[in-house]
Chains A and B, each alone.
Chain A
Amino acid sequence: MANFDQVSLLLLVLVPLAGAALAMFLPKDRPRDAWQFAIFVAAISFVLSVVVFLRYDYGAGGVQMVRSYDWIGQPVNITLHFGLNGIGAPLVLLNGIVLLGAVLISQTITRRTRDFFVLLLALGAGVFGVFVVRDLFFLFFFYELAVLPMYLLIGVWGSSTDFGTFLRTKEYGAMKLMLMLVAGSILIWVGILALYVASSQAGDPTFNIDKLAALQQDGAVSRLTQMWVFPFFALGFGVLAGLWPFHTWSPDGHVAAPTGVSMLHAGVLMKLGAFGIIQVGMILTPQGAEVWMPVLIGLGTVNVIYGAISALSQNDLKYVIGYSSVSHMGYVLMGIATLHPVGLAGAVLQMFSHGIMTALMFAMVGAIYERAHIRDSMILNGLIKRMGTTTFFFAIAGLASLGLPGLSGFIAEFMVFTGAFRTYLPLAVLGVIGAAITAVYILRLLARSFFGEGDPQWDHLTDASPVEKGVGAAFVLILIAVGVWPAPLLRVINTGVESALAVF
């Protein structure tokens, strides 16, 4: 197994990437073969992610499974440097789970199926890459790789939404998402170059995260540089994390995307943003982070409240979940901004928990839309009669989202609030109010569309397919397992949080 640790992180990236490359050579007109091949690849990735997570030694902590490959030598010194810390490990697991689930759910893609899975697997590889590399060049490389396929995934396979007076086309959603995310990566890129220049002036030009962190501690990165670079990272990564007021791509993008892509996107892609703020912003520019965190927690609180109120006023099921994601990412940002061990650990746990529950919600809404061809919660009614299992899974995810004890969301939000109460009391109170609004829109949605009288026009609906049921059941089990026994996750997360906060 020690040998395996040497290459495990490389494999984690290579397997889906090679899968994407191989899938290009599948026959064009056999969608089922492409689907099965993608399942095969995603399953291997899943197993790898589980093994990597289990192999992470939380007793030892720190950066593990380090392996470095030379890439470009002097004078810029870029290395393909792998290494996993306690914050990356649970997110790797999350991506393994959601990727497999998304591929399984995408059984319904029958048009240009092969191309769809090529892009989806490339996206998965990009996400794995961001979590496991420790070189800013490659972090940015994989970050862009994860964003790049979104335009086509939404534009080609997505759906448009009619609002009566106007139409939100999938092309609009795709272009808005792409441009806003790439605008964010401009800021990240400039920030990375600024740190590189600082390292170069210190006589040791490097993109390596660990070296840059060490240089920072030696005082090679001036306080002024950190002061202006941190906002670049916080906003740049923040765009992908759905940071208010740069969140507007997120609901439009999620709604326009096909189900599997929505799952991956809300489930893991938005977490890249939050992960980036921790991994790059906090660790490499801590002095800037200290100064700007009050602003970030303010924006995060706005996220929570604003997202929840927006979700309250939406009728389209997918828009409700989309805005709910904005709201829930607010907890993550709040948790990060507390710079408090409990709050930060809560933020990471919230990333995991929200990833699973939002993917589950999108999967179930996808199943409903597949059958009813409509997502309007005012028209859908009494789904429980015909789609009992779907309703059950959606309800569990909804309850996790409003923070019901016993499910994963409760623990994560509780920890975030604990951290926030100790640092920014008034904002923590506002956050709790946001959680209350969540309960309103989730319960109202459940009452309106899922439970209730039932409308004869929906009598023809059939319940979720076996594959959808399988994915739903697995995700529900994870939500419950983390809710009642979060220790396996938390003890890994805590080691990561400890080293991330050590510089403060």
Chain B
Amino acid sequence: MPIDYTANLHLLTPEFVLTALAFLVFTVDLFLPESRKEWLAGLSVVSLVAVMVIAILMRPAGSVELYGGLIVVDSFGLFFKIFFLAIGVGIIALSVEYGRDRLDHRGEFYGLLLFSILGMNLMAMSRELLTAYIALELLSFSLYVMVAYGLREARSNEAGIKYIIIGALSSAIMLYGLSNIYAALGTTFFAGIAEELASPGTVSPVLWVGVALLVVGLGFKLSAVPFHMWAPDAYEGAPLPVTAYLAIGSKAAAFALTLRLFAEAIVPAVNRWDEWQLVIAVLAAVTMLLGNLVALAQRNLKRLMAYSSIGHVGYALAGIAVLGSDFALAAKSVVFYLVVYAVTNLVVFAGVTAYYNRTGQDNIADLAGLADRQPFVAAAIAIGLFSLAGLPIFAGFTAKFYLFAAVADGGFLWLAGVAIFASLISLYYYLQVLRQMYIERPPNPDHAEEEHEPADGHEDAHGHGGHDEPPVPPMPRPSLLLTATMGVGLLVVTWLGVYPAPLLGLIDAASAAIVPLG
């Protein structure tokens, strides 16, 4: 029977609308004078919210396949769509001021952002390897351009070149993996792979090679160790909002794809090949340890966040490793972790962007005395970092506890132990940032030589009396938009830390859609 490729096509309305709006942004950009490019940010936000509303209103009951099973519309995809669109809104909030002051051609920036979100949405919805690959490339190509967007900065160009070369390499590896899988099985559908893996009889070595190369390709996209080396350079060189986007958006999308791929293609074959759990577990352990250890040596905030995000990828991978044990719990904890990680990172990056916009500095030591200069920015960064380190009452604590409980419950108590140990390492470098902001004195341009206090031991216990504190160099207030972003982010971080039940309910429904049968 021929497949009806137009059946249920209306369910893709959100994607069609998003595509149309992205083109609209490009078109309007041509007619807007340089001084009014900020309108495009507003237009993009309106687009994202509109698509969100459409996606929610047009959600089908249960899951519906389109294009003969290439794409599926289900609650898992819907959850991630809303998540990605919300990330897009956050990134635009970070970009407005930065783009105005530091980027050329910023109109197209927003168009690219919309396209990349389209790619992420499709990644969460595809059920077939090539479709997933194309969605992934749509995301990657938008990101290649966005990373190199700081045309006036050499390091942004350098980052762009590195990113595109490594990205192309990883895409090639992944494609080769896909072709091997197709050669072995004659299908690229997730369900077909699962069926083949689970069927009795020997499995051709070509398939193993294919699956291994696929995992390597995904490892590059996730920046899992040992495929991580592009991340620090790309993070450091990219414009700050793009760095945030790399850390939050592309990671979340790659995990959405990984989750669905593992759920529908690999987990059903668990009885045949349960060593894959161990492989992923080792990958996770190496990733979290190396990411966090190398982060200790960083002096630049963006590089620090790059290695920190590698560490966090390691934690989430630990959750992927136990998908085969208790699928529902593991999937739920990974998704919850991703959401918390995204919100928390958004807060930290909003704070760092607010600081960078006013000072043009992004080294850790530059933050000295920030708590005296802009207390709210310092508090936002501090709370964000506490949450990333996994300390209560913030979301990071709840998410880590939940995730590690799932990992331990899945039979990998040692991996949970490694993850908790890695968290301790991360606390050290997060505290170094905190120390600069809260304990070190702000740099004083007039008395550069008196930076170090005399070590007389009689320094007053409570910092009053004694010697005069040098005057604090003023720092202009951050923009209202960034302040609001930080404020909302902090509320969400605290709320998810104190009462995560509503979100977990939503995630429950979302992950139920991809629970493997049998």
Contacts and interface: CB of A to CB of B under 8 A. Distances in A.
Contacts of B459: 159-160
Majority-rule SS of A interface residues: helix
Give the residue among A28, A159, A170, A369 with the most B Cβ atoms within 10 A. Answer: A159
Contacts of B455: 160, 162, 167
Contact of B393 (A73, A145, A162, A189): A145
A142 B397 CA distance: 11
B461 A369 contact: yes
A121 B392 CA distance: 15
B474 to A, nearest CB: 15
B405 interface: yes
Nearest to B372: A112
Nearest to A110: B464
Contacts of A197: 408-409, 413
Nearest to A151: B431
B52 interface: no
Interface string B393-409: 10001000110111011
B391 A194 contact: no
B408 A258 contact: no
A159 B439 contact: no
Contacts of B310: none
A157 B458 CA distance: 14
Majority-rule SS of B interface residues: helix
Contact of A190 (B371, B417, B457, B504): B417
Nearest to B463: A111
Interface in A2-22: none
Interface stretch (B108-116, B237-245, B337-345, B421-429): B421-429
B302 to A, nearest CB: 24
Interface string A174-211: 11001100110010011001101100100001000000
Contact of B462 (A73, A110, A182): A110
B435 interface: yes
Contact of B431 (A72, A110, A142, A178): A178
B269 interface: no
A196 B461 contact: no
A314 B338 CA distance: 51
A160 B457 contact: yes
Contact of A73 (B405, B434, B501): B501
B438 A155 contact: yes
Contacts, number: 121
Interface residues of A, number: 55
A72 B504 contact: yes
A453 B500 CA distance: 64
B501 A194 contact: no
Contacts of B401: 137, 140, 189
A159 B438 contact: no
B405 A76 contact: yes
Given A75-B328, A109-B462, A145-B392, 10 more contacts: A76-B329, A144-B397, A148-B386, A155-B439, A156-B439, A160-B457, A175-B431, A193-B408, A193-B416, A369-B461
A72 B462 contact: no
A28 to B, nearest CB: 8
Contacts of A47: none
A145 B435 CA distance: 19
B331 to A, nearest CB: 12
Contacts of B392: 141-142, 144-145, 148
B458 A373 contact: yes
A158 B406 CA distance: 40
The list of the 6 closest CB pairs from A to B, nearest first, reads: A162-B457, A193-B408, A159-B461, A111-B463, A155-B439, A110-B464
Interface string A354-388: 00000000000010011001100000000000000
17 contacts: A73-B501, A111-B462, A141-B392, A142-B392, A148-B392, A155-B435, A155-B439, A156-B438, A156-B463, A159-B462, A160-B457, A162-B455, A171-B435, A175-B428, A178-B427, A193-B416, A196-B408
B114 to A, nearest CB: 35
Nearest to B329: A75
Contact of A182 (B409, B424, B434): B424
Interface of B: 326, 328-329, 371, 375, 386, 391-393, 397, 401-402, 404-406, 408-409, 413, 416-417, 420-421, 423-424, 427-428, 431, 434-435, 438-439, 455-464, 499-501, 504
B393 A179 contact: no
B115 to A, nearest CB: 37
Nearest to A122: B393
Interface of A: 28, 70-73, 75-76, 108-112, 137, 140-142, 144-145, 148, 151-152, 155-163, 167, 170-171, 174-175, 178-179, 182-183, 186, 189-190, 193-194, 196-197, 200, 205, 258-259, 366, 369-370, 373-374
Nearest to A195: B408
A430 B123 CA distance: 68
A469 B456 CA distance: 30
Contact of A196 (B371, B375, B409): B409
Contacts of A110: 462-464
Contact of B424 (A70, A179, A194): A179
A159 B464 CA distance: 11
A137 B456 CA distance: 45
A167 B424 CA distance: 26
A343 B458 CA distance: 43
A44 B229 CA distance: 55
Contacts of A189: 401, 404, 420
Contacts of B501: 70-73
Contact of A186 (B391, B393, B424): B424
A245 B427 CA distance: 23
Contacts of B329: 75-76
Contacts of A160: 455, 457, 459
Contacts of A161: 457
Contacts of B413: 190, 193-194, 197
Contacts of A112: 371
Contacts of A193: 404-405, 408, 413, 416
